[in-house]
Amino acid sequence: MARASAQDPGEWVDGFLFVANRPALDFLNTKPVLAEGPTELLPNFDALERWLIASGIVNSARTKSLLRSWRHSAAAQAFLKELIAFRERLRSAVVRMEAGATPSDEFLKEVNARLLQYPPRTALRKREGRVVVELIFEPQEPADLWAPILQGVADLLSETQTQRLRQCESCVLHFFDTSKKGSRRWCSMNLCGNKVKVAAYQRRQRDGESR
C-alpha cells in the first residue's frame, strides 16, 4: 500500500482508493483486488473511521473523537457488519445499472427505509455574505453514519448518465467516467491501465519473436 501511495498520491488516501468520482463508488471500492488478492479495506471500525476521514465525510474534531470513543462498542461493530453487507447489495445494484438495468425493487425499498430512518439534515448558513443550504452531519451514535453514506448512494442510484458508470476492464473496481470523451476504461492508469498496456506490449513482442 505504501508503495502504491508513493506512486500516485492522488489515488490513495491513507490506504484507501479514491478513483471513482462518486462517493458511493469509492465506498464500493473498499474491497479491491490487490497483488495479494481480494482485500477488505474495512476489516474493523478503526479502518472505517480512517475511511470516513479520508473520504471527507468526517472532518470535525468533535466527530473524530466521537468515532474514537465508539471504536470498541457493540453498536459500532453491529453497524460495520450491516454496512459491509449493504456494500455487497449496492455492488449488485451497480452491476445492474452498468448493464443498462435499474436496481432491484427490493434494494430501492431497503434504501428508502434507511433514508426514512437516517434522512439528510440541512441548515442555513451564512457564507461570504450569502445564505446557503448546507448539509449537517452531527452523529450521536454509530448508526447515524448511515446518513452521509445513503446520501451518496441516493445520488448514485438516481444518476442519469448511467452509460458513464463502468467497471474497470481489468479489475473489480467501479468508477464514474468524467472524462471529456467518456472513453475511460480503467480504474486508474497506475493500477490497471499501465499493467494492461505492458501486457499487450509484451504479447506483441512475444508474438513478433515467434514469427
Binding site for Zn ion (CB under 5 A): 168, 170-171, 173, 187, 192
C-alpha angle with apex 70: 69 to 76, nearest 5 degrees? 170
- Candidates 71, 72, 80; CA nearest to 30 is 80
* Closer residue to Zn ion in complex, CB, 143/189: 189
* Closer residue to Zn ion in complex, CB, 34/132: 34
DSSP state of 164: G
Report in angstroms how near the CB of residue 49 gets to Zn ion at its nearest: 26
CA distance 11 to 4: 9
* Closer residue to Zn ion in complex, CB, 42/168: 168
Q: Which amino acid is at 96?
A: R
Could you tell me if 71 and 49 are in contact, meaning their C-beta atoms sit under 8 angstroms apart?
A: yes
CA distance 200 to 197: 5
CA distance 205 to 211: 10
* Closer residue to Zn ion in complex, CB, 106/169: 169
CA distance 171 to 108: 27
* Closer residue to Zn ion in complex, CB, 77/170: 170
Report in angstroms how near the CB of residue 165 gets to Zn ion at its nearest: 15
Report in angstroms how near the CB of residue 24 gets to Zn ion at its nearest: 18
* Closer residue to Zn ion in complex, CB, 17/76: 17
As given in the structure block, the three cell numbers for residue 159 are 444518476
Instruction: Give residue for cell 501511495.
Output: 5
Report in angstroms how near the CB of residue 6 gets to Zn ion at its nearest: 19
- Candidates 80, 39, 90; CA nearest to 30 is 39
